[in-house]
């Protein structure tokens, strides 16, 4: 019996403890259920607050801060996009549909492009002039000999709110001058495919005009861009674009501005002094080929657009043109990459043709003889180029430029008042140039390039130009246009 008593005691103890353990377990379950309900309530409260804030932002009202049941950690600042100074994919601007908030509200994307070159030129660059075309005072020719600090670009860009994007690009020249290349706003919330851009921007005319220098496939612009626009056409005004809701890419655009950039001049009048119209269409052929074609038209007015020349005796004179300038052009680009993968191989072919007609009055030697007569001209130019990525990070390119100045009608010459030799800058010429290049991009942040050109743009003997260029991108940088 003594051996049974311990077992009986243990049995009685366990039997008595069961109700107590059951009561404790029930209490734990109740506590867990209460905690779960509290979490559900907090979650629902936060979701409701976020939905309310989104609704207020979409309706354009200021969002009232919600009071969650308990504090939650602040969201981390949005990381800036990786710098991409050299791709040629469609332009990537911050997406529409929301304002910037939280810690990133005052952190716009900032990028810096550093560029420079070494130039070995057979002719004096100080005397460089594209024969047969009125000098425009722009970025014309290969630049100076030896080592040169190129144009550096500083860009600050950000969504302002759900409705506008803003961008400012300042260029720092080798002469220690700061110029505003672009400073514009762009709408984000217009419907039916419309966007509006306002301020200072590169015109949508042609293909190359909108592309910044660090994204060019060659060190310099084609001759026709140098002769017609001084390298690039800048517009101070408004631009409207419409993107059609179709599978085929169709874009229509119009611009109006003050016309202060060559071939126009700033006029002391209200309204539009420069008008540009353009259209682009494009699409894909299979999964390896894509294309885009475009047509453009520009109408400008010039009042006293001066340029320096010499008379028949070699004496420096200053002449001036007053009248209308009209430019129209065609552009086309074709890209091929195996199955759309451009990291290993890619072929890019592009070409543009531009024609300009000017009609008005030409003044000779404004500060001296001050003679004037009617003036009419029709000039044209084109280029074609191909760039081939033959292995990752290595590209080779070939470009051909051709220009035709035509024979302008000069009233002072036709009337016998002055000989044609009194206008040497306007003597008929057919400038051309052949350029080859090889570049290597160690990463998406840098590019090294070698370029050689047989440049016959002058009236006399040609120029042989060898250039080495470096380009480095620092900071966030969106992708470029197709």
Tell me the pLDDT tens digit for each residue of 91-140: 434 444 444 544 455 678 899 999 999 999 999 998 899 999 998 888 88
State the Cα–Cα distance between residues 377 and 428, nearest whole angstrom: 11
Summarize pLDDT for 160-211 with one digit per residue, the tens.
999 999 999 999 887 788 899 999 999 999 999 999 999 999 999 999 999 9
Helix, strand, coil percentages in the chain from 3-state DSSP, rounded to 5: 20, 45, 35
Q: Classify each residue of 220-251 as buried b or exposed e, where b means 16 or more C-beta atoms within 10 Å of its C-beta.
A: bbbbbbbbbbbbbbbbbbbbbbbeeeeeebbb
Q: Which helix (H) or strand (E) holds 28?
A: helix 4-58
Enter the tokens of residue 399.
Answer: 């470009």
Residue-by-residue pLDDT tens, the chain, 482 positions? 444 444 444 444 444 443 444 444 455 667 777 777 777 777 777 777 777 777 766 665 444 443 333 333 333 333 333 333 444 333 434 444 444 544 455 678 899 999 999 999 999 998 899 999 998 888 888 989 999 998 889 999 999 999 999 999 999 887 788 899 999 999 999 999 999 999 999 999 999 999 999 999 999 999 999 999 999 999 999 999 999 999 999 999 999 999 999 999 988 888 888 999 999 999 999 999 999 999 999 999 999 999 999 988 889 999 999 999 999 999 999 999 999 888 899 999 999 999 999 999 999 998 888 899 999 999 999 999 999 999 999 999 999 999 999 999 999 999 999 999 999 999 999 999 999 999 999 998 999 999 999 999 988 778 999 999 999 999 877 666 77
State the Cα–Cα distance between residues 282 and 289, nearest whole angstrom: 11
Is there a contact between 369 and 189 (Cβ–Cβ < 8 Å)?
no
Q: Give phi and psi for 33, each to the nearest 5.
A: -65, -40
Q: Which of 151, 167, 35 is nearest to 93 (CA)?
A: 167
Is there a contact between 77 and 103 (Cβ–Cβ < 8 Å)?
yes
Helices (H) and strands (E) in the chain, counts: 3, 18
């Amino acid at each position: 019996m003594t051996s049974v008593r311990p077992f009986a005691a243990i049995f009685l103890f366990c039997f008595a403890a069961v109700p107590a353990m059951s009561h404790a377990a029930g209490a734990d379950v109740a506590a867990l259920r209460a905690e779960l309900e509290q979490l559900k309530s907090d979650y629902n409260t936060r979701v409701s607050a976020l939905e309310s804030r989104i609704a207020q932002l979409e309706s354009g009202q200021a969002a009232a801060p919600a009071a969650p049941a308990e504090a939650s950690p602040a969201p981390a600042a949005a990381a800036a996009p990786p710098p991409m100074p050299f791709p040629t994919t469609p332009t990537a601007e911050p997406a529409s549909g929301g304002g910037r908030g939280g810690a990133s509200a005052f952190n716009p994307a900032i990028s810096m492009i550093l560029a420079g070159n070494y130039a070995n030129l057979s002719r004096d660059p100080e005397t460089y002039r594209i024969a047969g075309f009125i000098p425009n005072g722009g970025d014309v020719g290969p630049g100076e000999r030896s080592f040169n600090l190129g144009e550096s670009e500083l860009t600050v860009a950000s969504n302002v709110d759900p409705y506008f994007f803003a961008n400012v690009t300042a260029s720092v020249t080798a002469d220690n001058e700061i110029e505003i290349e672009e400073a514009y706003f762009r709408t984000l919330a217009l419907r039916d495919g419309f966007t509006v851009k306002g301020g200072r921007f590169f015109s949508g005319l042609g293909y190359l005009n909108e592309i910044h220098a660090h994204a060019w496939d060659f060190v310099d612009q084609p001759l026709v861009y140098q002769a017609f626009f001084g390298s690039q056409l800048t517009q101070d005004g408004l631009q409207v674009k419409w993107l059609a809701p179709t599978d085929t890419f169709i874009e229509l655009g119009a611009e109006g501005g003050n016309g202060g950039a060559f071939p126009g001049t700033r006029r002391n009048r209200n309204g539009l002094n420069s008008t540009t119209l353009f259209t682009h269409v494009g699409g894909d052929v299979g999964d390896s080929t894509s294309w885009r074609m475009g047509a453009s038209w520009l109408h400008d007015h010039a009042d006293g657009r001066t340029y320096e020349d010499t008379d028949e005796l070699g004496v420096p004179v200053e002449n001036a043109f007053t009248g209308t300038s009209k430019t129209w052009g065609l552009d086309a680009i074709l890209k091929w990459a195996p199955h759309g993968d451009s990291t290993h191989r890619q072929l890019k072919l592009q070409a543009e043709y531009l024609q300009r007609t000017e009609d008005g009055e030409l003044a000779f030697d404004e500060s001296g003889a001050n003679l004037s007569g009617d003036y009419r001209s029709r000039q044209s130019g084109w280029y074609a180029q191909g760039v081939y990525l033959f292995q990752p990070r290595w590209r080779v390119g070939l470009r051909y430029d051709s220009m035709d100045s035509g024979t302008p009608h000069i009233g002072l010459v036709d009337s016998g008042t002055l000989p044609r030799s009194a206008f040497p800058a306007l003597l008929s010429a057919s400038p051309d140039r052949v350029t080859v290049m090889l570049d290597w991009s160690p990463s998406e942040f840098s590019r090294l390039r070698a370029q050689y050109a047989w440049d016959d743009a002058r009236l006399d003997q040609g120029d042989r130009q060898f250039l080495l260029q470096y380009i480095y991108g620092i900071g966030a940088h969106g992708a470029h246009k197709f």
